[in-house]
Chain A
């Protein structure tokens, strides 16, 4: 499933990120394969979204979140 489709109260695990530039950028920010992610907040009009990655939070454009493949674990 795509990270952009994650609902509140769902916990997922990052599987893969599409695109060389984006995956490098997100890796640097700690969005790594195996890391736990959770939806924290959605901005008005739905973009960007705030997610929790491990123990911290960050914002992500929806278009970037669409490139992150996750598996729901909870």
Chain B
């Protein structure tokens, strides 16, 4: 058993990673409602038990393992290079429960890199206001990873997270995407060029470098061409397959919650009002984001 566990906090932009980082480490990094606040990785420490402590790394948020900007690249550097000293023992993945499907796309990609993942389901309050309730046990079972519900802003569920991080017997690697339909010769060659054992990590890395003008890219592209491998087709297929699996897990994990003391009509009115206010808020918040970051 390790006395110091390196934990990377990963997740989509604005899912509450820095809030959780602050709650775990007692530090006070900048939290904001503007996605992309954290652009560099930050490190802090957290005492889990009298013997075990954790080194916590706060990473910038991203939507997928195929980065479109340099701060997104930081995330991958540490997650895909096992030789690096700060390669995490564990990824603590923070997902926005009000938008679970899209958040889980990255979770399944990160897990497939060959690192154990635990899921902290955040923003549960926002999901519940939208009428979405999840059963943590069912999610945990369908995703095959430990799941805890938290509120990073109000520091709820933090002790449970610490217990899960300390309990190393629960940390296990998981594979979501099967590469059975990919030519094994191609995978072997890509693993060799990229010097990686995990085939998905190798392929993902190769696809990312293939668009640069480097010698490594030339090598990669030569192998892709030789095996008639179309990276865009692979990626599209990958995303669709992942969402297929996620759809099932999310559907299974949803709980029906019928309110007993409010009438149906009342619920409806409240709900409508909420939708209106959320969409107008959303709009103000997300426009700079959509223009400035997501579509570059």
A11: CB under 8 A from chain B? Answer: no
Q: Which residue of A lies closest to B96 (CB)?
A: A56
- A48 vs chain B, min Cβ distance (A): 6
Q: Confirm or deny: B99 has a beta carbon within 8 angstroms of a beta carbon on chain A.
A: yes
Q: Which residue of chain B lies nearest to A54 when distances are taken between CB atoms in the complex?
A: B101
Q: Are B283 and A43 in contact (CB under 8 A)?
A: yes
Q: Which of A28, A57, A60, A61 contacts B63 (CB 8 A)?
A: A28
8 Å CB interface, B267-282 against A: 278-280, 282
Q: Point out the residue from A25, A43, A52, A55 that lies within 8 Å of B132, measured CB to CB.
A: A55
- Given known A-B contacts A23-B236, A30-B102, A58 and B290 have beta carbons under 8 A apart: yes
* B240 CB within 8 Å of chain A: yes
Q: Are B63 and A59 in contact (CB under 8 A)?
A: no
Instruction: Report how far A21 CA is from B232 CA in the complex, Å.
Output: 8
Q: Within the complex, what minimum Cβ distance (angstroms) separates B211 from chain A?
A: 11
Interface residues on B, range: 20 to 34
* Smallest CB-CB A-B distances: 10 pairs: A59-B290, A56-B99, A30-B102, A27-B239, A28-B64, A20-B232, A40-B279, A41-B283, A59-B286, A57-B282
Residues of B within 8 A of A56 (CB): 98-99, 102
Alpha-carbon separation in the docked complex, A54 to B247 (Å): 11
CB within 8 Å of B: which A37-74 residues: 40-41, 43, 48, 50, 52, 54-61, 64
B213 interface residue per 8 A CB criterion: no
Q: Does B287 contact A (CB under 8 A)?
A: yes
CA distance A21 to B231 in the complex (A): 11
- Given A24-B236, A30-B243, are A50 and B102 neighbors across the interface (CB < 8 Å)? no
The B interface, classified by DSSP as helix, strand, loop or mixed, is: helix
Q: How far apart are B11's CB and chain A's nearest CB, in angstroms?
A: 14
Chain B residues within 8 Å of A14, by CB: none
Q: How far is the CA of A43 from the CA of B130 in the complex (A)?
A: 24
> How many residues of A are in contact with the other chain, CB < 8 A?
25
Which residues of A does B touch, CB under 8 Å? 20-21, 23-25, 27-30, 32, 40-41, 43, 48, 50, 52, 54-61, 64
Contact at A48–B287, with CB atoms within 8 Å?
Answer: yes
**Beta-carbon contact of B287 and A43 below 8 Å:** yes
Q: Residue on A with the closest CB to B127?
A: A55
* A27-B282 contact, Cβ under 8 Å, with A43-B287, A59-B287: no
Contacts of B1 in A (CB 8 A): none
CB neighbours (8 Å) of A57 from chain B are 278-279, 282, 286
Closest to A50 in B: B283
Q: In whole angstroms, how far apart are the Cα atoms of A25 and B235 in the complex?
A: 10
Known: A28-B66, A30-B243, A48-B290. 15 other contacts (CB 8 A): A20-B236, A25-B68, A27-B243, A29-B63, A32-B240, A41-B283, A43-B283, A50-B282, A54-B101, A55-B132, A56-B99, A56-B102, A59-B290, A61-B290, A61-B295
Show 21 residue pairs from A and B whose CB-CB distance is below 8 angstroms, ordered by the A residue: A23-B236, A24-B66, A24-B232, A24-B236, A27-B236, A29-B294, A30-B101, A40-B279, A40-B283, A48-B291, A50-B282, A50-B283, A52-B279, A55-B99, A55-B130, A56-B98, A56-B99, A57-B286, A59-B294, A61-B290, A61-B295
The residue among B102, B130, B232 with the most chain A CB atoms within 10 A of its own CB is B102
CB-CB nearest in chain A for B279 = A40
- In the complex, chain B residues whose CB is within 8 Å of the CB of A30: 101-102, 105, 243
B282's closest neighbor in chain A, by CB? A57
